[in-house]
Amino acid sequence: MACILIPEENRVIKDNAEIGAYLKPFGIWHERWALDERVSPSAPADEILAAYQPEIDRLSEAGGYITADVMQVTPETPNLDAMMEKFKSEHTHSEDEVRFILRGTGLFHIHPPSGPVFAIQVEAGDLINVPKGVKHWFNLCADKSIRAIRLFQNPAGWTPKYVKEPVSVYYKPLCFGPAFVPGQGAKPASPLGGGVEGRFKV
């Protein structure tokens, strides 16, 4: 189940309806899709895509997505840290970034034009989009593992365009979970003046 973390407000949103309402002004949508009863999250990619074809068709019609694939990384993935390096600095894309999480957990930070930076933690069963042009970055959580369906309007468009002076350097990728300790992972002094120190109300 997804949750939203708002460091500047020491706030966590875990209710699905509240998550949707919070994301809506930013053009971000979040859905929950059924998992095991449809197909094993570990099934081959073609079986995964076939199982979710109705949802993929619906989104493709609405968003103009023309291709879908399944990506996965695990701690054993060669050069994982180098691979993730390019996603963890603030960037935009000229296409939407659409992900349905089959397995694992990850953290999308969103830097909106106004209002505080917030993070959306996604896990198995969460569908999320980051609209084109929205400043964001992505980190894996501690399990360093994720498997996801990706939808593309144009795969060539899904290239990071990095933001000058990224604020991502001021945020620790703290994922919410049993090991979450409020106040841990303090970031360095921030020009944002928000004193973001990874503390969240729960």
Residues making contact with Fe ion (CB under 5 A): 97
Q: What are phi and psi of 119, to 5 degrees?
A: -115, 140
Minimal distance, residue 28 CB to Fe ion, in Å: 13
CB-based burial label for 132 (10 Å; 0-12, 13-18, 19+): middle
Minimal distance, residue 51 CB to Fe ion, in Å: 25
When the beta carbons of 138 and 176 are compared against Fe ion, the nearer one is 138
What phi-psi label fits residue 106: left (phi over 0), alpha (psi between -120 and 50 degrees) or beta?
beta
The residue whose Cβ lies closest to Fe ion is: 97
Task: Return the closest-CA partner of residue 96 out of 154, 20, 21, 163.
Answer: 154
When the beta carbons of 132 and 172 are compared against Fe ion, the nearer one is 132
Nearest-10 Cα torsion for 129, 132, 135, 138? 40
Minimal distance, residue 138 CB to Fe ion, in Å: 6
When the beta carbons of 60 and 168 are compared against Fe ion, the nearer one is 168
When the beta carbons of 97 and 126 are compared against Fe ion, the nearer one is 97
Minimal distance, residue 180 CB to Fe ion, in Å: 24
